[in-house]
Amino acid sequence: MSEVAKKRQPIDRESVNLTEPWEVEYRRKQYGCTELQLKQAVAAVGVSAERVTQYFRNKSTPPKGGKQRYE
């Protein structure tokens, strides 16, 4: 079995590593996003897994008050 296939979770759970393809795939599944969205999140808030989680939580929450607009 290859080394990549053995890796199921990130070694450092506290940060998001975009240089390892297997970790990008893991994080994509974790956050339910595309690779581009993951890269944008890391660019916006840094590599902290906690901050990226908050970023996606805030993005998925519709604005309060009034109707949600789709553009």
Residue 50 lies in a domain: yes
Distance CA 58, CA 13 (A): 21
The pLDDT > 70 percentage for the chain reads 75
Q: Is residue 56 part of a domain?
A: yes
The residue among 63, 44, 65 whose CA lies nearest residue 54 is 44
pLDDT tens string 2-25:
555 555 777 888 999 999 999 999
Chain position carrying tokens 């908050």: 54
Q: Which residue, 38, 39, 6, 4, is CA-closest to 21?
A: 4
pLDDT at 1: 46
Structural domain count of the chain: 1
Helix (H, G, I), strand (E, B) or coil at 19: coil
In-domain check, residue 25: yes
Where in the sequence is the domain holding 47, given as residue range(s)? 14-60
Residue 1 lies in a domain: no
For residue 66, is it within any domain?
no
Answer yes or no: is 68 within a domain. Answer: no
Asked if the structure places residue 23 within a domain, the reply is yes
pTM for this structure?
Answer: 0.72
